[in-house]
Structure 1
Amino acid sequence: MTSQELQRVRQLPAGRKADLASYVDEVGRVTVADLAAHFNVSIDTIRRDLDQLDRENILIRTHGGAVSTSERAGRDREIDVRLSMQAAEKEAIAQLAVDLVTDGSVLMINAGTTSLAVARALRNHRNLTIATNNLRIPAEISPTVFRDLYMFGGAVRTLTQATTGPVTLGMSGSTPEVDIRCDMALIAVGAVDGSGCSTSNLGDAAMMAEMISRAERTAILADSTKLDRRLFAQIVPLEGADYLVTDRAPSSGLAAALDAAGVTVLVPEGE
């Protein structure tokens, strides 16, 4: 194919979208304006292309641009980028998860944007005790919801707006460590497959596993893009969870594994 023929192919919608997807994958993060200039098309055309490629899970649409899906497997993203990903699905998960919570109970909630959606959805609950490593929760949860709110200490990870460290709450240097327990752990994870729940960061995995070990019941929170996937660090096998709260019914293979492990799957009505 000559260079002129190649250029004509690239001006066709299908050819442009293929080039666009390749370009986003190579660059990692782009804006709509940059893409419009690069491909010499209108901003509205680029927006339509990005919306379609996002629906096809080829890239991740963000406010004002897109990011590559290749970042999904292992690298942390800035929380503002992750807040725009699967936003409707996270809201649906949050509404299901808060139905598991009773007033007056003690909760542990981990970091993550799905967990943050759950914390916001607790607005009609009262008298909760909440312990978390999610730095966004104190600013975004309604003060009418909780009786006590605690933050776990540790190293601060600015990208994810979280702390990573031991699941302890010290009162003073001379006081022995207090054993803490909770009624429910609400744990957002990076991946769920037949072997269990996993995430990309070793420290996060250890912290989530400890939260789960201190809980009477555990609800795993994962949108459907995280199902049938495995990341670097395992948190718990499927048997370690009581519920999987997601936005779409799992595949038949994963559903069978969850059933065998005694995990109740919660999905929105109609899914």
Structure 2
Amino acid sequence: MADSSNLLAEQRRAMILDEVRRRGGVRVNELTRQLNVSDMTIRRDLDALARAGVIEKVHGGAVPTEAARTHEPGFEAKSALELTAKEEIALAAARLVQPGSAIALSGGTTTYALAHHLTEIEQLTVVTNSVRVADVFDRAQRQQSRQAATVVLTGGVRTPSDALVGPVADRAIRSLHFDVLFLGTHGLSAAAGLSTPNLAEAETNRTFIASARRTVLVADHTKWGTIGLSSFAELSEVDTWVTDSGLPAEAAEAAREQVRELILAGVEPAEDAGGDEPEQ
């Protein structure tokens, strides 16, 4: 695609739509380079095309309308997106973990980032359906010559994002109880709640939520407005949402109407005054 920084918005959006249809999907960071415009400009273009019903936004980009609900990126593809935001979210979420607690981490690249910050917290019991998360604690144990945490890996059928889902995972999770669940999501919105393209993963996430005393969603701002095939929770089921400062003000306002506590990672507490006080 040629440099098109001076193209009118309509022309630029036509080129984006052509790329989506030709390739079956595009990523925001690719379009910013190809069209020589800002990340925000591309996101506005994608919003406009989504409103027109010709594409649907997915995490990090867009796919044709007919593919959006079932499009599930692999772990490696997702891990390259929003790295700074995920690290900020992981740091903020790690502060919510108390030594000696029993916690659960669902699959996903943000929970994977969080796991790296939990290996120094003493006497944790970690329940996870993420092969990647379990590997983080295993590597930490080998490097530290001590047990970083007691890790329970659920078993199940492996998804493209390296999460274990299905009846085996569900039975294991249903028999356990944990203080805090750190939950990732493919997408979320005020109307659809939390959603995923994977039907089995949706059921496993529901089981996670039912077994947790407190649910903490860890999801960056690009997940807002993305809707997968299957919803697995209402926003009102989330006790705390830890996200980044890129979340638009209107999205933050909508989230605060349903989520008990909204934490904007990297923002001073005085500027992040929303929801009730966190649990003691």
TM superposition score normalised by structure 2: 0.71
Q: Distance in 2 between matches of 1:21 and 1:202?
A: 30
1:205 aligns with 2:202: yes
- Structure 1 residues not aligned, in runs of 5+: 1-9, 36-45, 60-66, 171-177
- Does residue 169 (structure 1) correspond to residue 166 (structure 2)? The answer is no
- Report what 1:43 is aligned to: none
Give ranges in structure 2 of 5+ residues lacking alignment. 47-59, 272-280
In structure 1, the partner of 2:81 is 85
Q: Distance in 2 between matches of 1:268 and 1:107?
A: 20
Please point out which of 134, 149, 152 is paired with 2:151. Answer: 149
User: How far 1:236 moved relative to its partner?
Assistant: 1.2
2:62 paired residue number: 69
Output the CA distance in 2 between the equivalents of 1:152 and 1:79: 18
Deviation at 1:198, TM superposition (A): 1.6
| AA aligned opposite 2:152 | Y
Letter in 1 for 2:34: D
Corresponding residue to 2:129 among 126, 133, 139: 133
2:3–2:36: 8 Å Cα contact kept in structure 1? no
Letter in 2 for 1:168: R
8 Å CA contact 1:167, 1:207 repeated in 2 = yes
Give CA-to-partner distance per residue, 1:11-39, whole Å, 9 cap, x none: 66545977874564222479xxxx9xxxx
Shift of 1:264: 0.3
Matched letter for residue 120 of structure 2: N
2:256 to 256, 259, 266: 259
Name which of 240, 244, 254 aligns with 1:243.
240
Aligned residues: 234
Is residue 238–residue 263 contact of structure 1 (8 Å, CA) maintained in 2? no
Instruction: Find the structure with the greater CA-based Rg.
Output: 1
C-alpha change, 1:47 and 1:69, in structure 2 (3 Å) is closer
Q: Deviations over 1:69-114 (max 9, x none)?
A: 2176531112111110111111111111111111111111111111
Tell me how far 1:224 sits from its aligned partner. 0.5
Alignment check: 8 A CA contact 1:243 1:263 kept: yes
- The whole-number CA distance in structure 2 between the counterparts of 1:129 and 1:89 is 26
- Whole-angstrom CA distance in 1 between matches of 2:203 and 2:264: 27
Query: Structure 2: how far apart are the matches of 1:233 and 1:122?
Result: 30
The answer as to whether partners of 2:5 and 2:36 remain within 8 angstroms in 1 is: no
Q: Give the TM-score, by structure 1 length.
A: 0.73
Amino acid at match of 1:205: A
Q: RMSD across aligned C-alpha pairs, in angstroms? A: 3.3
The alignment-based identity, stated in percent, is 23
- CA–CA distance in 2 between the matches of 1:238 and 1:161? 25
Counterpart in the other structure of 1:160? 161
DSSP 3-state at the match of 1:167: helix
Match of 1:97 in 2: 93
Distance 2:113 2:149 in 1: 20
